[in-house]
Structure 1
């Protein structure tokens, strides 16, 4: 057996340069980032968790649900209850103050219990930014502008990724399942990932189509209510469908071979 040559001086006495390590492609970096984000959210198809467990974990359990729903719910309830019949406007400062206060409490509780504060802190920042829009303009409906922007960005990202053949769902799943970008050579996987990305794009688009007319009509109560209804109640089923579809593409090793 001969040993592999070791880089060293050539015959002229000059050192042979080592080949530089290949830099990761942008697609690999994006795939890893999406995969790690999905893993932190509990969406790892390689795990043997049940669908219910995965969906519940993705929503953050009871605490995650309260942190994402309660600030918005308090805002819309307080604003509606304080509407002045003469002006048709509710108490903007009181609504925003209570909403932000609840988000701050959630964050403090997580800090006190030394638990991850990502969800609570994200909700606090989102609530603060939304409140800033409403305060600076004096219009309660502008509290929803950041949500519109987020839905537009996410929806566009999913739609574009599907149309160009680089589904964001496929990039994340490929990383988690250890196959990298090999899924793009599999016609069945490409098709499934395409439609999953389209489904997610459709969710974000539906939110905009339903909520924007209410925003322009300055119907804060209806807008806030539909935002809550089109939040977790639509997010959870789509998470479940995505999980089941991806897991079906990768049979477990102990599963009997398909005939």
Structure 2
């Protein structure tokens, strides 16, 4: 008599089934959201979640200050004759600020993911600007990021596989089961479209300034359309997802 443990596993055996692509994407997105402090299953206030996801006061500074330094220094050093600011000084100080944040986190043994991300972004953006000698190219990586994120969210919504739904499904422990619930599918569809619209709005408003070479206005609008728009959008998303999953009665 053959031992059950010696029986070859069939391809469709549940014990060897690999996670589907949608489940893998949902798990990756959900884990990223959880690391950022966004977990709808937690009993936390909306304000607390939004503030934590931005990294608190330090996270806000790490996100805003390098860009702000670049714009301020570039604007202050504009030569009335040429209309150009000091590109090297602006970029050097911007990258130095991002590097200082990373160094402080390393010294204090704090999580460095956000700071390193900001430093890498600052270095890449500076590289674009220095290679071309055009300060406006400092914003090209941001345009690429917005285009990629916006497109991915739009496609996911139109195909019925909302990235917001995939992340929330993982966090709420239901995987892709939300796709069989018409109400959840509708909510996740509109949330994905809303996020896609946010990224599209940034491009629509900022690209004309890029082509016009208006670095000061472009940098200012980038800051205004950054965290000030991200925070309320995140709050709406958090509230909408929480509304789909009633809290257990204690």
Which runs of structure 2 are paired with 1:17-36 in the superposition (5 Å)?
17-19=8-10, 21-36=16-31
Tell me the TM-score normalised to structure 1 length. 0.93
Equivalent in 110, 113, 116 of residue 115 of structure 1: 110
CA radius of gyration, larger in: 1
Paired position in structure 1 for 2:188: 193
Measured in 2, the distance between the counterparts of 1:16 and 1:193 equals 43
Shift of 1:16: 2.9
Equivalent in 62, 67, 80 of residue 67 of structure 1: 62
Shift of 1:236: 0.1
Equivalent in 94, 103, 118 of residue 98 of structure 2: 103
Measured in 2, the distance between the counterparts of 1:32 and 1:225 equals 36
1:148 is the counterpart of 2:143? yes
Number of paired residues? Answer: 245
Tell me the TM-score normalised to structure 2 length. 0.96
Paired position in structure 2 for 1:227: 222
Paired position in structure 1 for 2:199: 204
Shift of 1:139: 0.3
Shift of 1:24: 1.3
Measured in 2, the distance between the counterparts of 1:6 and 1:169 equals 46
Q: Aligned-residue CA RMSD in angstroms?
A: 1.1
1:127 is the counterpart of 2:127? no
Shift of 1:254: 1.4
Moved beyond 6 Å, runs of 4+: none
**Contact 1:92/1:140, CA 8 A, preserved across alignment:** yes
Measured in 2, the distance between the counterparts of 1:127 and 1:216 equals 21
Measured in 2, the distance between the counterparts of 1:183 and 1:47 equals 19
**Contact 1:79/1:91, CA 8 A, preserved across alignment:** yes
Paired position in structure 1 for 2:4: 7
**Contact 1:83/1:89, CA 8 A, preserved across alignment:** yes
Q: Which has the higher helix share?
A: 2
1:181 is the counterpart of 2:176? yes
